[in-house]
Amino acid sequence: MVCTILGGTLVVCLLAAGMFGFGGDHDTDHDHDAGHGNVFFGMLSVRAMTSALLFFGLGGMTARYYNADELAAFGIAVGSGVLTLYLVALAMKSLKQLKADGTARVERAVGCTGTVYLRIPGARAGAGKVQLMLQNRTVEYQAMTAGEELTTGRPIKVVAIINSDTVEVEAA
């Protein structure tokens, strides 16, 4: 009963803290399953341990409710806790793989098509602006062209990267 109450209270506190924006990336888990170290330590996190404690208590209480002897109830409690530890650790690992940087990388713009937003003078005489679809988002970059002047609304294709905020384009 003590494990159930303590584990349940901690799980509710973690849930409430998460809802209010606390503890997002401050879990104490470690990635030891990358070919070295003990795989078990890679599963340890605050969320997994508190959930295991909760289900350890619930498993033991349920077994005792159905009149299991103490040794069997302890075995069921341990099994419940270990299974929960594994499942929560697996879920947390799966969620971490969903993280995305979200940064639009200008290096990936070569070959992308878009439209001229502000006129681009020809023969690299100055810069204009273009809008591109890059990494499933509309981005705006300064643009230059070695060819003829490109007017607003004209379709373009990125042929090179000049610097972190300027691309070289040609008419598409």
Query: Residue range 125-149: average pLDDT?
Result: 93
Q: Which of 53, 73, 96 is the last residue of a domain?
A: 96
For residue 50, give the nearest of 60, 42, 58 by alpha carbon.
58
Under a CB-based contact definition with an 8 Å cutoff, are residues 160 and 167 in contact?
yes
Q: Given a cut of 90, is residue 64 above it in pLDDT?
A: yes
CATH number at residue 115: 2.40.50.140
* Same-domain pairing of 91 and 151: no
Measured CA to CA, the distance from residue 121 to residue 50 in angstroms comes to: 63
Could you tell me if residue 63 is inside a domain? yes
Q: Which of 96, 127, 146 is the last residue of a domain?
A: 96
Looking at residue 23, its pLDDT comes to: 65
Q: Which residue has the higher pLDDT, 35 or 92?
A: 92
Whether the pTM exceeds 0.75: the reply is no
* Same-domain pairing of 24 and 62: yes
Looking at residue 32, its pLDDT comes to: 43
Could you tell me if residue 101 is inside a domain? no
Q: Which domain holds residue 151?
A: 106-171
Looking at residue 42, its pLDDT comes to: 64
Count of domains observed in the chain:
2
- Tens of pLDDT, residue by residue over 37-60, are 455 566 678 888 999 999 999 999
For residue 108, give the nearest of 133, 127, 144 by alpha carbon.
133
- Tens of pLDDT, residue by residue over 65-122, are 999 999 999 999 999 999 999 999 888 888 888 877 677 788 889 999 999 999 999 9
Q: Given a cut of 60, is residue 24 above it in pLDDT?
A: no
Q: What is the bridge-based pairing of β-strands 137-144 and 155-163?
A: unpaired
Measured CA to CA, the distance from residue 123 to residue 132 in angstroms comes to: 21
